[in-house]
Structures are given as C-alpha cells and as structure tokens.
C-alpha cells in the first residue's frame, strides 16, 4: 500500500533564508507579508503552476521542497513581481539565487544539465544551430545583412578557448555537479561532434547545432561588438526548441510567444523600468495640463 | 367612552397577512432611545412598525398615556427603560416596573390582551436586543390581530 | 451655588398668544434619508398637517446654508415653531436650537423628528415602511410643536475642581493638564501606588522607550503639584449631585501605617517575616506583608496587607520603625469632596486566561501570559530582564506568541472586539527577546497583524526583516506538553495551507484587555452607560469620544475601550480639555426639564415626595402644597406621572405635549 502523504510542516529553520539574507537587498525577503501581488501578477503563473508567494513563504520557513520543486524553474525572470512588490523584495533575484542553491544541492532538471553539457562541449549554452524543423538557420545571412562576419568572435571562431571553459568548470566542481566528463582529451569541435552523436539523450537537433557551429567556425570575424538583445532572443529560441522536444504541452505552446517577449536580462528591465517611469511621468504631466 | 367589554384574544381565524401592527415606543432618553439610535447607526434592520416617543425617564410614562394610545387604536405599546440599577435618575425605572402589573391589570379589565403593553429593559448599547424585541413583538401582535377598538372604528 | 433663574411659564406669554405657525424642514442627509424615502411626498404630507405653514426640503439642514434657510423663515416672520425632520435630536438638537436663539426665538420652540436612525437606517430595504414611520415621526413632532412652551435655559455654577478616578497613564495626564490650568484635582487610585499598568511594562512600542523612564517623572510631577491631591489606596463610595456640583464620598482604605509619619525607609519590610506573591509582578516575585508595590511607587509609603499580616508586631517595634508609624488599629475613613467635573480613567484588567482551556495556561508550566512576559523582560522584574522557562529556568530557544487570546472571539466568555495592543506588544517582546538571544526562534501566530499607529507598521516590518521574527498566519489550535516540558503546537500556515506541528520551548499568550471587574459598580454610581463590550460608553463615537452621556462626566483612556499608550494619553488630554472648558466658564447651561407644581391644582397628597430620588420635592406646610426645588430636580418626570391631580408639569415633556404626540400620531390612524 502506498504511504499516506502527511504534508505537515514539522521543522522550520533559517537554512535557506540565511543564504539569501547575505545579500542586503535580498534580506528583505523576511519582510514579506504574503500579500500575493507577486503571484497575482505573474505572467508565468497565468499559464503554469508557479506560485511566487509560496516560493517566498517556503524560503522564510526554510522548507527544502522549494529547491526540489519545479516552481523556481517556471519563473521567466520578467521582474514584474519585483517591480510591484510593496516590500521591495527582489523576488526574481531571489528565485535566481534559489536556482543556484538548488543546483548546488543537485536539484537540477535534465534539460538544464543537457544545456551545461553543450556549454562544456562548445563553449556556448546555445551554439549556433538550425531552425526548429532542421532547416538551416538564416543567421549567417542575417549577420551578413548587418555587415557582420558570418561567425561571431566567440568559441565558435576560437575553438581552442573551449578548453579554458572546461578547466574553469572543473576548478569550480561544476562538471561534477552536472555529471559532465570530457569525452576526449582533444577538444576540437570535430571530436566533440562525434562523441555527441554517440552519446544518448542528445537529439538530432542538437547534433545539427554542433555541426553547423563547426562548419561556420571556419569563417572568422573581425567585428568584436555584437548586438546583444538579438543574440539573446536567438539563444532563447534555441533553448525552447530543446526543452520543447521533451516537455511540450499545450500551455507551453501558448506561452511561447509571451516568454519570448518577457525574457530578457536585468539590465534591459531596469532600462525598461526607467523608460516606463518617464512615460508615466509624462502622461501624468499631460493629464495635469489637460485638467488645467 | 368604552361601552361594552372589548374582545381581544388571538383569533382562530386566518391571520391577516397585510396587517402591520402599529407599535408606539415610549423610550427613556438615556438608555432605550440611545440604544434605538445605536441600532440605526449600526443599520440593524427591523420591521417598519415602531414609532418612537422620547421621554426623559421611563418613570415619566403615565398609565393614561398607554391607555390613550390603545384607545386611539395603537396595536401595541413598548415601554423602553434602562436596566435595573442603570437608571440615569437612580430608580425611575423601578417605579415603572412597579406600575406595570397595575397597568396590565387595568387594560385587562378593559378587555385588552395583556400583550398590548410591554416593558423592556434595553440599554444604550443594546440596539441588537431592541431589534430582536421589536421583531418578536411584531410577530406576537400579528398573531394577536389588530386592536379591537381600531376595528370598531374602521367598521 | 449660584442663583439659577427659573422662568415659570405663564399662559399669557406674548409669543404664545400669537398664532402658531409651524415650519417643517425635511433634511435629506445626503442619501441617508433622501436615498430611501420620497422627500417630495414627505413635503406634501407635512404641508397638510395642522398649523404647518411651510414645509421645505434640503440636502443638509445642519450645514450653514440649511441653517440659514430656517433662520430666514424665522426672520421673515413666516414661522414661529420649527420642526426639523432629520437625524437623532441627540445629534443636532443643540445646533438647531442655536439658530432659533440667534433669530430671537425661544430655543424650546424647536423639536426634531428622528427620521434617520429610527426610520431610514433601520428600514433601508422597505422604503414604503420607512416612509410610513418617517411620516408618523413628523406628525408626532408637529403635534408636539403645537403645544410647545417657551423655557429659559437653566444655568448652574461649575466648581473649579475635578475628580479623576484611576491614576494610570490616562488619569495622570488628565490630572497634570487640569492642575496646570489651575484647577484642583483629586486623583483617586484604588492601589497603594499610582502608575497603573504602564508601570508594569518594560518598554513601549514602537520607540522602545523604557516605560518607567517616561512614566515615573510624571508620577513625581503628580506628587509635587500643589493642585493635586493624590488619594491612593482609596475607592469611590458614593456619588451625588450633577454637572458642576458633584458630592463624592471616597473610602480611604486603612494603610495600618500612618501615611504622615512613614518615611518610606523600608526597614519594616526587611524585618517582616511574612512573604507573599507580589501582585505587581503577577505573583512572579515576593513581597512582604508590609510593602510598597515597587521601588518607584508614588506615594512611596508603606501599607500593611492585613489579609496576610500575622500581627507579630516586629515592624511596630521602635527599633524597626523609628517614626512609630505602624498603627494596627487604623480604620477606613470616608472623605467627602465636592467637585465640578469627574473624569473616569479606570483602565482595564488583562483578560483572565485561566478560563481559556485549550491553551493550557495553568496546566503547562511553560505557557505564560503577555503581561508575565513583560515582567520577565523588565530589568526590574523577577528575572532581571532575562526571560526563562518557568519549568527549568533556562533561556528558551524558541518562543511562540499566540495572538488574539480572548479577543476577536464571539463565543461565550470571550470578547468579540480587538484589543488593539496585543499585536504590537507581542512584536515588541519578540524583538526584545531576539535582541538578547539572536539565535532563538521567535514565532508570532496571528490572524491579522494590526499595526495601525504611527511608526507601528515600520516597527513590524523591521521585526520581520531585521530580526527575522517569523510571522505565522494561522490561529494556534492546540498545545500539548512533551515529557521534557517543551510544547508541541498545532496550527496551520494558512499561506501554504499546510498544518504545522513543531516543538517549542515556551508559549506566550497575547492576552487582550477587558473592562475592570468593578466597572459596573462605577457605571451605576456615576449613572453613565456601558457599551456592549463592557467599556464605558462615549456620548458620540466620533464627535464626542471623551464625553459620557452624563453632563460633567468624562471618560479617558482604556476605560472607554482598548487603547495603546499614545491613544490613551491623547484621550486623557481631550478629557482634560472637556472638563476644563466647563470649569473655566464657571457655569453651564442645563436643559430646563425640571418639574413645576401648579399650586392651584396640587391637593397636597404628598404622593410625589417619596417618588423623587433626589429629594427635590418638599412639602410647604403653610400652603399645604408640594414644592419642587428646580436646582435639585434633574428632570426625570417621575413625579409628574405620579401626581393624581395632574398638578405637576415637567418642562418640555408636559402631559399635554406627550398626549398631543399620541393623539397626533393615532388620531387619524387607519389600518
């Protein structure tokens, strides 16, 4: 007979919150009064099971389940909750911190490990690849249209730098954490490609990514500056392609476009925020003028 | 004035559903009138049957007033007093309590049902109690039917 | 006592001989009345009533414009009797009477029909019914208006002295404010020392001021102020009189120590062999049978607790008490004082938790009350500021505070109201404990956190953010004692919707406040009212929060309802201002509702004389008729209803007027 799940809180501790309050801004997590603004306005929460308020509550009570559950990975890091939190709790940063903690403790999803393996192998979490259906990507043409060299000045054009990344990963024990082992002492992309094809759990799309990366790595670029946002959109696309193959649901498809829109890094959010505030100010002023 | 003895008992006939008893409340200023105000301030809903006359103390209530009201066709008279010991004028309500049996006896002699006059102790904070009392009184008076004198008049 | 001018009304009064022209003014009171009943219909109805010359309606008759409209009609000679149908006369009777006075009309030519509290507010869902009641109320007052008689407001002198019952922080502040304005103050306290509950507290939220550091200077100020007579260890025995002229009997309980001779040296207490629990420390520490409650007590003079004294006589020996202050034959004394105003500042009792079974107070050693925790945290308390587990004397590593113990509970024996201080004092105590033991876990199990005062929310925020106190939303359901005397608590974390079962070292019950056990006695003595919560009732919850319903008696502090210190002090100062206004003016107008004997009708039966509870009626042996002293008469009218000859008139409530109301409302009453 299956054991009845008691689901009772029997131990409350500061284990998790101690890690988080090391950061001065994140220490506000303890000020959370569980108003629910974060959950209520969470764009991801509209489509998925993420309940931001409960994540924070579990942090305060030191419940380990917060690290093992899927919740922290469902956050799209859009920073909506942070922007709205009446207690100025950097919720998104805390979730990112929780992901780090979860990773340190070995709570990791297989797709994440897969990505880190790609990183270790190619120097890119999302190497240059193909489109969803396996069609060749038009990124090189796109780059060319902007007057950029075909291949960006990364490990794609400097395959020898991948070794440095692997050394770093080894030095920080990251390789053990994600169960990555060098497939070959030789670190040329060619070798990687082969081992990639042999290894289990790697789908066709991934290996194609590698192949493409390899082929493109021949042409080197001289331009050092990259268009960051564009690159990130690309990366995101790729990530989704990979995760989709494993856990594609109806809701995921729906949210795809949304996640794309909302996913961006912190810097752009703060920029956005400032822009918004300015906009708000402007409209307020204009409203005032209208009233007058 | 009253020529024959009045018949005033709950009739076995079907209760007139449209009958809305007229209750005259004679309330002391310090307890029941204030309690009635409190019921209003707290928006405690009660049936629309109670009219309130204010006196300074329930001791001011003259038996003649009750009889006059019944004679004029009131269906019930509700005298509101402070609780014993809480009287603003030391013991005015004691005097009302002492007068009540005589008054009830008197109206019974006229033929009125003793329920035509009630004395209730309601303090300034007991709006809820007042509301309940009025609801109960309306129910009892509806069962009792209209004041027979009123019927004679309308006939 | 000043000579009051009484105007005996004669029927030949000029203004009364003229034709009665009644103006009816129907107030919408915004939507309170106008939103329920049809005001146009009301106007039409009022216009048809006899003697009504004009009926008007307006949004707010209590406003300047509304009052001006009434004033204009009086000035134009259009009306000479005014009926305003609006709120309760308890609210605005005086407002409208002033309008009449300003226009040269007698203020008692005004009556108010209550169509808000007694009609539209209680029959909101039955507009037709509300209309019926409102019409009847207007009809009743119009009928009374026809019978109104001019009266002259009565004036009485107000003695420039005040009695303050209770010397806690509210009583102390009221006393100082009044004394510093030059009024004499009698400060009566039933305990041997002034200071009240505030003296028991360690620190005060949200500023973390040391309670005694801010209280004791005030206590000293009290003892030094020449205008203040402190009557500690005394209780009110009897109150007589009326606004401006109260006679109060005060029982000064026997100290068994001559308070004039005692120097407060404390030698007696050192030699006393009897040791009992100190009430000031809630029995957590010991005191002797001869004692002062705490070292900073004012007056710092000793008292023998005769219940526990074994009369060994050691303290009385000349070697122990050099001034020979001990007097075993001391007896209670009754003092009578005369004051103009009374301020009730009797404070509260902490809720008696011994009745609250499910939290195990009294059964489980490590379950204590908030006030006990307060004494534990106090540096002058039984543990010198280091709270320990009562079972083993160790510092608890985890403490749980349970909120709303006895409060916000509608069950029998509990209180439905919020006690307003428990959230903050629990947070404060948890912070204090965290300051001393940062490693300890402090949990506060609450239903809502009510941090409403200035700086309170910030205090609460800091408690969670900086101190890491864990706020658990969920009312603690039960406590079990483990063999090691630690406690297993069961509750729900309603945020996660998960039950909690954790072991803690100690539980503090955040008990609320309730009215003092003897407040009923005080209410009866002063003829003031109590609200449903048991605390004294204010004359108006918003506009007269420090006045009682009885003129000249004010309420200060928690006696009126649970309050924190700043609120209690604010109210105390408000009550002081209210009392000072009366005393500074020196005289006050009282309603001339006294009764008059009509000599021609009095048969001299003397029935009325023993009906009067104030002894205002005397028998004139020469004229063989009764005579009512208008100063002593308080205007209840009991004599008027007693008089078999209808010889007694109660002003403004004459039999004729009351009968007119009954006839007016029932005269053409149809089924």
* Separation between Cα atoms, residue C580 and residue C181, nearest integer Å: 8
Test B95 with C638 for CB contact under 8 angstroms: yes
pLDDT score, position B7: 74
Test B50 with C666 for CB contact under 8 angstroms: no
> Looking at per-residue confidence, does C527 or B37 come out higher?
B37
Q: pLDDT band at A136, cuts 50/70/90? A: low
Would you say residue A211 has pLDDT above 80? no
Say whether the peptide bond before residue C295 is cis (omega within 30 degrees of 0).
no
Token representation of residue A255: 């949210």
Helices marked H in chain A: 15-20, 37-41, 52-61, 65-68, 71-74, 80-84, 91-104, 110-122, 139-145, 162-171, 174-177, 189-198, 204-217, 228-246, 250-262, 266-291
Of C125, C18, C34, nearest to C81 (Cα)?
C18
* pLDDT (mean) for A263-283: 48
Test C498 with A7 for CB contact under 8 angstroms: yes
List the single residue in C with minimal CA-CA distance to B145.
C671
Q: pLDDT band at C138, cuts 50/70/90? A: very high
For C225, residues 6+ apart whose C-beta sits below 8 A from its C-beta are C175, C176, C179, C180
pLDDT score, position C237: 94
> Looking at per-residue confidence, does A207 or C379 come out higher?
C379
Chain C: partners with 3+ C-beta pairs within 8 Å: A, B
Give ranges for CATH 1.10.1060.10 in chain A: 15-104
* pLDDT (mean) for C1-13: 41
Going from N- to C-terminal start, the domains of chain B cover 23-147
How would DSSP label each residue in B14-40? PP-TT----EEEEEETTTHHHHHHHHH
* pLDDT (mean) for B60-69: 93
C17 in contact with chain A, both atoms CB, cutoff 8 A: no
Chain B: partners with 3+ C-beta pairs within 8 Å: C
Contact list, C118 vs chain B (CB under 8 Å): 36-37, 40, 50, 52
Would you say residue C640 has pLDDT above 60? yes
Residue C580 CA to its chain's centroid (Å): 17
The percentage of chain C sitting over the pLDDT mark of 90, rounded to a whole number, equals 79
* pLDDT (mean) for B27-40: 93
pLDDT digits (tens, 9 = 90+) for C252-300: 999 999 989 999 999 999 999 999 999 899 888 899 999 999 888 888 8
C502 in contact with chain A, both atoms CB, cutoff 8 A: yes
The answer to whether the beta carbons of residues B93 and B121 sit under 8 Å apart is yes
pLDDT score, position A185: 52
The percentage of chain C sitting over the pLDDT mark of 70, rounded to a whole number, equals 97
Compute how many other C-beta atoms are within 10 angstroms of the C-beta atom of residue C491.
22
pLDDT score, position C429: 96
At residue A282, φ and ψ (nearest 5 deg) are -60, -45
* Separation between Cα atoms, residue C624 and residue C610, nearest integer Å: 16
Test C501 with A87 for CB contact under 8 angstroms: no
Would you say residue A156 has pLDDT above 90? no
B140 in contact with chain C, both atoms CB, cutoff 8 A: no
* pLDDT (mean) for C575-582: 96
- The partner residue sitting opposite A30, judged by closest CB among C441, C468, C500, is C468
Of C174, C247, C200, C90, nearest to C546 (Cα)?
C174
Would you say residue A258 has pLDDT above 80? no
Test A34 with C464 for CB contact under 8 angstroms: no
pLDDT score, position C624: 93
pLDDT score, position B136: 95
Name all contacts of C204-208 with Cβ < 8 Å and 24+ positions apart: C204/C428, C204/C565, C205/C424, C205/C425, C205/C427, C205/C428, C205/C456, C205/C459, C205/C564, C206/C424, C206/C428, C206/C453, C206/C454, C206/C455, C206/C456, C206/C458, C206/C459, C207/C455, C208/C428, C208/C431
ipTM entry: 0.94
From the candidates B36, B57, B81, B126, which should be mutated to test the interface with C, based on the most C CB atoms within 10 A? B57
Q: pLDDT band at A209, cuts 50/70/90? A: very low
| CATH T-level topology, domain A15-104 | Fumarate Reductase Iron-sulfur Protein; Chain B, domain 2 (1.10.1060)
Would you say residue B123 has pLDDT above 50? yes
Would you say residue C458 has pLDDT above 80? yes
Give all domains of chain C, ordered by start, each with its CATH number: 14-153 (3.40.50), 161-242+340-347+521-585 (3.50.50.60), 254-331 (no CATH), 350-514 (3.50.50.60), 595-650 (3.30.70.20)
Beta pairing partners, C628: C617
* pLDDT (mean) for C44-68: 94
Test A12 with C495 for CB contact under 8 angstroms: no
Would you say residue A252 has pLDDT above 80? no
Q: What is the largest CA-CA distance in chain B?
A: 46
pLDDT score, position A38: 94
Test A33 with C464 for CB contact under 8 angstroms: yes
pLDDT digits (tens, 9 = 90+) for C356-404: 767 889 889 999 999 999 999 998 888 888 999 999 999 999 999 999 9
The model's pTM is 0.78
Test C498 with A8 for CB contact under 8 angstroms: yes
pLDDT digits (tens, 9 = 90+) for B125-150: 899 999 999 999 999 999 898 888 87
Residues in B 62-81 with any Cβ partner in C closer than 8 A: 62, 64-65, 68-69, 72-74
- The partner residue sitting opposite C464, judged by closest CB among A7, A30, A53, is A30
The answer to whether the beta carbons of residues B104 and B114 sit under 8 Å apart is yes
pLDDT digits (tens, 9 = 90+) for C579-607: 999 999 999 988 899 999 999 999 999 99
- The partner residue sitting opposite C593, judged by closest CB among B44, B56, B151, is B56
**Lowest-pLDDT range, A98-112, C107-121, C170-184?**
A98-112
pLDDT score, position C668: 60
| CATH T-level topology, domain B23-147 | Rossmann fold (3.40.50)
List the single residue in C with minimal CA-CA distance to B134.
C122
pLDDT score, position A130: 63
Work out whether the CA dihedral C637, C578, C348, C333 comes out positive or negative: negative
Token representation of residue C665: 């409302």
Would you say residue C320 has pLDDT above 60? yes
pLDDT score, position B14: 54
**Lowest-pLDDT range, A39-48, A136-145, C139-148?**
A136-145
For C42, residues 6+ apart whose C-beta sits below 8 A from its C-beta are C26, C55, C57, C85, C131, C134, C135, C138
Strands B76-81 and B117-121: parallel
Test C123 with B45 for CB contact under 8 angstroms: yes
* Separation between Cα atoms, residue C423 and residue B116, nearest integer Å: 51
pLDDT digits (tens, 9 = 90+) for C533-557: 999 999 888 888 999 988 899 999 9
A194 in contact with chain C, both atoms CB, cutoff 8 A: no
- Looking at residue C361, the DSSP 8-state letter turns out to be B
* pLDDT (mean) for B65-78: 93
Test C500 with A57 for CB contact under 8 angstroms: no
* Separation between Cα atoms, residue C100 and residue C110, nearest integer Å: 8
* pLDDT (mean) for C305-324: 90
The answer to whether the beta carbons of residues C335 and C230 sit under 8 Å apart is no
At residue C600, φ and ψ (nearest 5 deg) are -65, -25
List the single residue in C with minimal CA-CA distance to B47.
C123
The answer to whether the beta carbons of residues C643 and C607 sit under 8 Å apart is yes
**Lowest-pLDDT range, A38-42, A43-47, A205-209, B47-51?**
A205-209
pLDDT score, position A52: 94
Mean pLDDT of chain A: 72
CA distance from start to end of chain A: 75
Contact list, C443 vs chain A (CB under 8 Å): 12
Test C493 with A27 for CB contact under 8 angstroms: no
Would you say residue C13 has pLDDT above 80? no
* pLDDT (mean) for B47-72: 94
Q: How far is C501 from chain A (nearest CA, A)?
A: 5
From the candidates C636, C655, C665, which should be mutated to test the interface with B, based on the most B CB atoms within 10 A? C636
Q: How far is C446 from chain A (nearest CA, A)?
A: 12
Of C337, C320, C404, C341, nearest to C370 (Cα)?
C404
Token representation of residue C541: 């919850």
- The partner residue sitting opposite C498, judged by closest CB among A9, A17, A30, is A9
pLDDT score, position A132: 66
Test A12 with C473 for CB contact under 8 angstroms: no
Test C495 with A34 for CB contact under 8 angstroms: yes
Residue C357 CA to its chain's centroid (Å): 31
pLDDT score, position A225: 41
Test B41 with C121 for CB contact under 8 angstroms: yes
Would you say residue A184 has pLDDT above 70? no
Q: pLDDT band at C37, cuts 50/70/90? A: very high
């Amino acid at each position: 007979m299956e054991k009845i799940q008691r689901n009772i809180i029997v131990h409350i501790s500061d284990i998790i919150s101690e890690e988080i309050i090391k950061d001065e801004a994140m220490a506000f997590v303890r000020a959370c009064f569980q108003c629910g603004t974060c959950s209520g306005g969470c764009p991801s929460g509209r489509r998925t099971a993420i309940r931001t308020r409960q994540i924070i509550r579990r942090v305060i009570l030191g419940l380990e389940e917060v690290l093992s559950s899927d919740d922290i990975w469902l956050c799209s890091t859009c920073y909506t909750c942070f922007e709205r939190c009446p207690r100025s709790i950097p919720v998104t940063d805390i979730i990112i911190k929780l992901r780090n903690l979860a990773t340190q403790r070995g709570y990791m999803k297989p797709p994440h490990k897969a990505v880190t393996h790609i990183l270790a192998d190619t120097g890119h979490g999302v190497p240059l690849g193909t489109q969803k259906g396996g069609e060749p990507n038009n990124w090189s043409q796109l780059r060319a249209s902007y007057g950029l060299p075909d291949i960006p000045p990364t490990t794609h054009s400097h395959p020898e730098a991948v070794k440095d990344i692997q050394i770093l990963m080894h030095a920080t024990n990251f390789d053990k954490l994600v169960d990555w082992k060098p497939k070959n002492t030789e670190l040329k992309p060619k070798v990687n490609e082969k081992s990639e094809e042999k290894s289990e759990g790697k789908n066709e799309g991934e290996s194609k990514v590698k192949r493409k990366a390899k082929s493109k790595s021949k042409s080197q670029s001289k331009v050092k500056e990259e268009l960051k946002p564009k690159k990130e959109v690309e990366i995101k696309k790729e990530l989704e392609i990979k995760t989709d193959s494993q856990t594609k649901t109806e809701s995921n498809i729906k949210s795809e476009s949304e996640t794309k829109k909302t996913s961006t890094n912190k810097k752009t959010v703060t920029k956005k925020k400032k822009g918004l505030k300015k906009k708000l100010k402007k409209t307020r002023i204009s409203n005032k003028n209208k009233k007058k | 004035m009253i020529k024959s003895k009045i018949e005033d008992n709950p009739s076995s006939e079907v209760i007139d559903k449209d009958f809305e008893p007229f209750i005259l409340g004679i309330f002391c200023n310090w307890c029941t009138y204030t309690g009635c105000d409190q019921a209003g301030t707290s928006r405690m809903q009660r049936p629309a049957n109670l009219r309130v006359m204010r006196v300074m103390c329930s001791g001011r209530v003259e038996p003649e007033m009750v009889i006059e009201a019944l004679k004029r066709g009131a269906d019930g008279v509700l005298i509101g007093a402070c609780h014993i010991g809480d009287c603003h004028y030391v013991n005015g309500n004691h005097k009302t309590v002492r007068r009540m049996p005589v008054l009830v006896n008197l109206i019974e002699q006229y033929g009125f049902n003793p329920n035509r006059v009630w004395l209730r102790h309601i303090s300034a904070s007991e709006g809820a109690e007042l509301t309940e009392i009025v609801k109960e009184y309306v129910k009892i008076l509806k069962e009792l039917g209209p004041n027979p004198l009123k019927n004679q008049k309308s006939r | 006592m000043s000579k009051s001018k009484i105007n005996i009304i004669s029927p030949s009064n000029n203004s009364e001989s003229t034709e009665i022209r009644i103006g009816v003014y129907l107030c919408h009171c915004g939507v309170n009345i106008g939103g329920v009943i049809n005001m146009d219909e009301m106007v039409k109805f009022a216009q048809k009533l006899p003697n009504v010359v004009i009926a008007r309606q307006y949004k707010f008759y209590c406003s300047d414009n509304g009052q001006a409209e009434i004033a204009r009609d009086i000035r134009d000679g259009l009306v000479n009797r005014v009926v305003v149908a609006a709120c309760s006369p308890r609210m605005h009777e005086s407002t409208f009477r002033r309008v009449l006075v300003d226009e040269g009309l007698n203020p008692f030519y005004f009556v108010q029909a209550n169509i808000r509290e007694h009609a539209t507010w209680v029959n909101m869902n039955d507009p037709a019914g509300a209309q019926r009641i409102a019409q009847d109320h207007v009809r009743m007052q119009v009928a009374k208006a026809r019978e109104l008689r001019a009266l002259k407001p009565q004036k009485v002198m107000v003695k420039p002295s005040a009695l303050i019952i209770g010397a806690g922080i509210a009583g102390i502040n009221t006393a100082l404010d009044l004394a510093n304005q030059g009024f004499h103050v009698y400060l009566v306290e039933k305990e041997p020392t002034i200071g009240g509950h505030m003296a028991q507290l360690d620190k005060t939220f949200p500023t973390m001021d040391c309670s005694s550091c801010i209280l004791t200077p005030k206590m000293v100020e009290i003892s030094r102020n020449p205008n203040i007579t402190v009557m500690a260890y005394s209780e009110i025995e009897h109150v007589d009189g009326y606004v401006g002229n109260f006679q109060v009997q005060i029982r000064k309980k026997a100290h068994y120590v001559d308070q004039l001779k005692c120097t407060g040296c404390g030698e007696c207490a050192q030699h006393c062999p009897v040791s009992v629990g100190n009430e000031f420390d809630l029995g957590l520490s010991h005191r002797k049978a001869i004692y002062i409650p705490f070292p900073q007590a004012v007056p710092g003079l000793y008292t023998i607790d005769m219940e526990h004294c074994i009369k060994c006589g050691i303290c009385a020996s000349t070697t122990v008490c050099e001034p020979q202050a001990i007097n075993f034959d001391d007896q209670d004394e009754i003092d009578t004082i005369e004051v103009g105003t009374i301020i009730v500042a009797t404070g509260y009792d902490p809720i008696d938790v011994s009745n609250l079974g499910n939290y195990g107070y009294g059964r489980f050693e490590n379950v204590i009350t908030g006030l006990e925790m307060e004494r534990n945290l106090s540096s002058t308390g039984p543990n010198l500021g280091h709270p320990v587990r009562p079972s083993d004397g160790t510092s608890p590593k985890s403490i749980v505070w349970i909120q709303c113990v006895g409060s916000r509970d509608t069950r029998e024996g509990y209180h439905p109201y919020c006690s307003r201080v428990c959230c903050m004092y629990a947070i404060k105590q948890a912070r204090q404990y965290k300051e001393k033991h940062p490693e300890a876990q402090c949990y506060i199990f609450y239903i809502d956190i009510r941090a409403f005062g200035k700086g309170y929310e910030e205090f609460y925020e800091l408690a969670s953010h900086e101190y890491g106190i864990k706020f658990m939303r969920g009312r603690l359901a039960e406590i079990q004692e483990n063999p090691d005397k630690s406690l297993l608590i069961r509750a729900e974390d309603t945020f996660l919707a998960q039950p909690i079962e954790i072991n803690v070292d100690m539980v503090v019950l955040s008990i609320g406040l309730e009215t003092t056990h003897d407040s009923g006695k005080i209410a009866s003595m002063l003829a003031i009212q109590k609200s449903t919560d048991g605390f004294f009732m204010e004359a108006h919850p918003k506009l007269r929060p420090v006045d009682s319903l009885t003129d000249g008696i004010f309420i200060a502090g928690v006696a009126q309802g649970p309050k924190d210190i700043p609120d209690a002090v604010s109210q105390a100062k408000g009550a002081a201002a209210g009392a000072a206004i009366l005393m500074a003016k020196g005289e006050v107008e009282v309603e001339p509702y006294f009764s008059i004997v009509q000599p021609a009708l009095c048969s001299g039966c003397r029935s009325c004389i023993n009906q009067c509870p104030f002894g205002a009626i005397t028998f004139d042996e020469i004229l063989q008729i009764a005579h009512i002293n208008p100063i002593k008469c308080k205007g209840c009218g009991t004599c008027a209803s007693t008089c078999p000859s209808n010889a007694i008139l109660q002003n403004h409530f004459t039999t004729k007027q009351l009968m007119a109301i009954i006839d007016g409302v029932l005269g053409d009453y149809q089924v």
